[in-house]
């Protein structure tokens, strides 16, 4: 059965043309040249505009094409698979607009929607040179005047600060300070005029060299009262809720990088010969490919469940988005490093194997873990909810309807209900809290001879780890000062348990209709991968990864995307 978001992205990919063709606008060769000259991919972005991608940054109710965040995930994955610089540079418009989708008026959203569909670039002005991720320390001020606000101050390391026409600006509207002092203003450069702002020089970066990572300084900029998004003093809440959406969608960047890296790894393994055989015929190289394949499947399972949770488990996004944003980029980074060892020197050289694409994607992907809150920020978000998560797990509490809809990929998704977004989850995380019941279901299938007993035993070990983890989380005592190191270790383990629950539940809920691969090889490999990270002292069953390699090589020969999604005819390229 065709998964519609997958088919949508595959069709979009075909319209872009073959990336191996240097004559195509969005080709690997062109992206390599742009990276070498640290040049923004303007022509490629214009082609994405012409193909209608900006419409998917705008919800349908505001005049765009965004119906399901699964569509955005798969489309941005397809773009990131070709080049992360392009995906980050173009996709930033959604991040810049999200505050309006979360808290803006109908009039604001409709106007911004029209601007984006017509090609306007939007940026998100959150961070400052002296304060980084500490949004409460924001020094940019928006002082009330008779007809609006006077904006003064500087935002720095802002994606598209120079190229963007519109900026969602987090500013201080209360001189007394505090959490209720911050507000979001939608600032249009064309309205305030060049005298009210100046763009700061672009920063040179190790990766995404062609991206516009710069800054903007305001000096007495006159901003109309209608630019205020939401009520005064609600800026921090708006931003934190918006980050739950953007953190989830960051998974698309990592998935695209993982697709690209795995493709390059298989290319090299099939072409490079050692001891009279190709690397793909040698046990250690095959093991590397199998392990990397399992890592990709884990990341994809988490991203699929998280993107659907935006619609169906919206109130739990403070947990889901933090877990996904930590686990997917960090897991893919490990995967890229392992494949780099397979390529050896060619992983570091430019202009050699496949236009030096591997070294570029490795550099580019490093930034993804920092976007929208770094690893410590996301783990701390989980730590702050340990009490609720532990109690809900013990009680086996789940949002049954929301969980079922989030897991079944054939279920339609309703529009995102922004009123259900919450800073903290009252119900914990239904996906994790469903793990014990899912393990019991798998054990019943094993008893009936429908799945291997070894798979059920592996899942049982994961449940034991999850039980023990939640006991330790329940014993954690919050600190008003420094968060102890062991709390971050518990939060990291929680993300692995979340990933295991995503994998197991996706297989259980979708195997009958064929949307997800029916075989248990992928599930066994994913659970083994996660269990090894949770119990590193145990002997790892490496053979489960070998079972993934024949399918990987077959799909590679077909030019098909290696995915949990079973459709082989939609033409998505790796």
SS (H, E, C) 506-561: HHHHHCCCCCECCCCHHHHHHHHHHHHHHCCCCCCCCHHHHCCHHHHHHHHHHCCC
Maximum C-alpha span of the chain: 80
Q: Give, in degrees to the nearest 5, the angle at Cα 519 between 515 and 523.
A: 95
Q: What is the CATH number of domain 123-240?
A: 2.40.110.10
From-to residues of CATH 1.20.140.10 in the chain: 250-412+428-558
Cα separation, 310 vs 316, whole angstroms: 9
Segments in 250-313 forming alpha helices (H)? 251-271, 283-312
User: Given this model, what pLDDT does residue 574 score?
Assistant: 45
Q: What is the pLDDT of residues 392-408, one digit of tens each?
A: 999 999 999 999 999 99
Q: CB-based contacts of 183: which residues, under 8 Å, 6+ apart?
A: 142, 170, 171, 172, 173, 228, 229, 230, 231, 232, 233, 234, 235
Q: Give, in degrees to the nearest 5, the angle at Cα 292 between 506 and 523.
A: 25
Query: For the whole model, what pTM was predicted?
Result: 0.96
Q: In which residue ranges of the chain is pLDDT below 50?
A: 568-572, 574
Provide the token pair at 27: 């080709």
What DSSP designation does 394 have?
H
Q: What is the mean pLDDT of the chain?
A: 94
Q: Could you tell me what percentage of the chain is helix, strand and coil, using 3-state DSSP and rounding each to the nearest 5?
A: 60, 10, 30
CB-based contact 56:75 (threshold 8 Å): yes
Q: What is the CATH number of domain 4-119?
A: 1.10.540.10
Fold of 250-412+428-558: Butyryl-CoA Dehydrogenase, subunit A; domain 3 (1.20.140)
Closest by CA to 491, choosing from 371, 325, 370, is 325
User: Given this model, what pLDDT does residue 223 score?
Assistant: 97
Provide the token pair at 75: 């489309």
From-to residues of CATH 1.10.540.10 in the chain: 4-119
């Amino acid at each position: 059965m065709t998964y519609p978001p997958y088919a949508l992205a595959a069709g979009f990919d075909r319209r872009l043309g073959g990336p191996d063709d240097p004559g195509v606008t969005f080709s690997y060769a062109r992206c390599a040249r742009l990276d070498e000259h640290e040049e923004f991919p303007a022509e490629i972005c214009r082609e994405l505009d012409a193909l209608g991608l900006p419409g998917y940054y705008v919800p349908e109710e505001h005049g765009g094409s965004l119906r399901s965040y699964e569509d955005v995930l798969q489309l941005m994955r397809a773009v990131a698979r070709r080049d992360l610089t392009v995906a980050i540079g173009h996709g930033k418009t959604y991040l810049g607009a999200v505050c309006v989708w979360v808290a803006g008026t109908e009039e604001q959203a409709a106007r911004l929607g029209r601007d984006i569909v017509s090609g306007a670039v939007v940026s998100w002005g959150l961070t400052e040179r002296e304060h980084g991720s500490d949004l409460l320390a924001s020094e940019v001020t928006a002082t009330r005047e008779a007809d609006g606000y006077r904006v003064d101050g500087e935002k720095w390391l802002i994606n598209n600060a120079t190229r963007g026409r519109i900026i969602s600006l987090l500013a201080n509207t209360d001189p007394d300070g505090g959490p209720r002092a911050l507000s979001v203003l939608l600032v249009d450069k064309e309205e305030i005029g060049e005298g009210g702002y100046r763009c700061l020089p672009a920063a040179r970066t190790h990766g995404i060299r062609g991206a516009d990572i710069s800054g903007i300084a305001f000096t007495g900029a006159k901003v109309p009262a209608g630019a205020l998004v939401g009520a005064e003093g609600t800026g921090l809440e708006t931003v934190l809720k918006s980050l739950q959406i953007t953190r989830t969608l960051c998974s698309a960047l990592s998935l695209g990088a993982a697709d690209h890296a795995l493709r390059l790894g298989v290319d090299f393994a099939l072409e490079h010969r050692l001891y009279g055989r190709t690397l793909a015929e040698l046990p250690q190289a095959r093991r590397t490919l199998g392990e990397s394949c399992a890592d990709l499947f884990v990341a994809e399972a988490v991203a699929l469940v998280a993107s659907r949770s935006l619609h169906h488990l919206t109130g739990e996004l403070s947990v889901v988005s933090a877990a996904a944003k930590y686990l997917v980029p960090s897991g893919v980074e490990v995967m890229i490093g392992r494949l780099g060892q397979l390529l050896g020197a060619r992983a570091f050289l430019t202009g050699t194997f496949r236009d030096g694409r591997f070294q570029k994607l490795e550099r580019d992907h490093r930034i993804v873990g920092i976007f929208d809150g770094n690893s410590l920020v996301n783990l701390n978000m989980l730590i702050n909810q340990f009490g609720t998560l532990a109690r809900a797990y013990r009680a086996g509490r789940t949002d049954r309807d929301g969980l079922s809809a989030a897991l079944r990929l054939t279920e339609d998704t309703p529009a995102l209900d922004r009123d259900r977004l919450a800073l903290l989850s009252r119900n914990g995380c239904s996906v994790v809290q469903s793990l014990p019941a899912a393990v019991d279901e798998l054990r019943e299938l094993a008893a009936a001879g429908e799945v291997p007993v070894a798979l059920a035993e592996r899942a049982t070990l994961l449940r034991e780890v999850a039980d023990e983890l939640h006991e330790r989380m329940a014993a954690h005592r919050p600190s008003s000062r420094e968060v102890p190191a062991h709390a971050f270790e518990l939060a990291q383990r929680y993300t692995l348990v979340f990933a295991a629950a995503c994998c197991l539940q996706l297989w259980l809920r979708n195997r009958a209709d064929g949307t997800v691969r029916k075989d248990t090889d992928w599930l066994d490999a994913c659970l083994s991968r996660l269990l090894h990270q949770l119990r590193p002292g145990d002997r790892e069953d490496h053979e489960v990864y070998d079972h993934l390699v024949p399918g990987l090589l077959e799909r590679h020969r077909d030019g098909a995307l290696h995915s949990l999604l079973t459709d082989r005819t939609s033409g998505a390229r790796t």
